[in-house]
Amino acid sequence: MNTLAINILAGSKFLGAGLATCGLIGAGTGVGIVFAAFLIAIARNPSLNKELFRFAMLGFALTEAVGLLALMMAFLILYT
C-alpha cells in the first residue's frame, strides 16, 4: 500500500470512531431524563421512594448499556 492509502485508512478510522461516540450523547440525555422523572415522581409521591428507586436504577442501567455499546464500537473501529 502506498502512503496515501494508509493515511486515508487511518483518517477514516478516526472519523468512524468519532461518529460512533455520538451515541454517548443520547445515553447522557437518557440518564438525565430518567433521573429527572425520578425526582418528579418522588416529589409527587414520597411514599413510593423504594419502588421508584428500583425503576430508576433499571432505567439508568439500560440507558448506560446503550452508551457503553457505542463506546465499545468506537474502540473496535479505532483499534482493529
Model pLDDT for residues 53-78, shown as the tens digit of each residue:
999 999 999 999 999 999 999 999 98
Per-residue pLDDT of 7-55, as tens digits, reads 999 999 999 999 988 889 999 999 999 999 999 999 999 999 999 999 9
What one-character DSSP code corresponds to residue 46? G
The reported pLDDT for the residue numbered 44 is: 96
Contact 49, 42 (CB under 8 A): yes
Domain of residue 37 covers: 3-79
For 37, residues 6+ apart whose C-beta sits below 8 A from its C-beta are 56
CA-to-CA dists, residue 70 to 23, 34, 65, 77, angstroms: 5, 19, 9, 11
Kindly report the CATH number assigned to the domain that includes residue 37.
1.20.20.10
Contact 30, 63 (CB under 8 A): yes
Give the count of domains, the chain: 1
